[in-house]
Amino acid sequence: MDQNTEVRPEDAGAGSGVRFRGEAIVDEQTGEVLGRIALDHGILTFEVVPEARRRGVATTAVREFSRALLTRRDRLEMRIGWDNPVAQRVALAAGYTRESVRRGDPELIVFSRLAGDPEGPTPRLLPDLPGGELSDGVITLRPLGERDADFYTELHNLPDVIATSVPPEPRPAEEVRRRCVRAEAHWLAGTRADLVILDSATGERAGEIGLYYQEPPTGQAMIGYSTLPAYRGRGFASRAAQLIALWAFAETGIARLIAGTLPTNTGSQRVLEKAGFTREAYLRSRLPGPDGTRTDDVQYVLLAGDLLAQASGGGTSHA
d(C-alpha 112, C-alpha 272), whole Å: 40
Strand partners, 298: 261, 282
Which CATH number fits the domain 130-312, given the four candidates 3.40.630.30, 3.40.50.970, 1.20.1270.10, 3.40.50.300? 3.40.630.30
The fold for domain 3-114 equals Aminopeptidase (3.40.630)
Domain spans of the chain?
Answer: 3-114, 130-312
Spatial separation of the C-alpha atoms in residues 31 and 130, rounded to whole Å: 36
Furthest-apart CA pair in the chain: how many Å? 71
Which residues share a beta bridge with 102? 108
Each residue's pLDDT expressed in tens, for the chain with a length of 319 residues: 334 345 566 667 667 789 999 999 999 999 999 999 999 988 999 999 999 999 999 999 999 999 999 988 999 999 999 999 999 999 999 999 999 999 999 999 999 999 999 999 999 999 999 999 999 999 999 999 999 999 999 999 999 999 999 889 998 999 999 999 999 999 999 999 999 999 999 999 999 999 999 999 999 999 999 999 999 999 999 999 999 999 999 999 999 999 999 999 999 999 999 999 999 999 999 999 998 899 999 999 999 888 777 766 655 444 4
Question: Cα dist. 41→20, 44, 77, 188 in Å?
Answer: 19, 8, 9, 26
For residue 38, the 8-state DSSP code is: E
Strands 278-288 vs 24-27: parallel, antiparallel or unpaired: unpaired
Do 3-114 and 130-312 come out as alike in CATH topology?
A: yes
Closest CA to 163 of 223, 230, 226: 226
Reading phi first (left if > 0) and then psi (alpha if -120 to 50, else beta), residue 165 is in beta
pTM of the model: 0.91
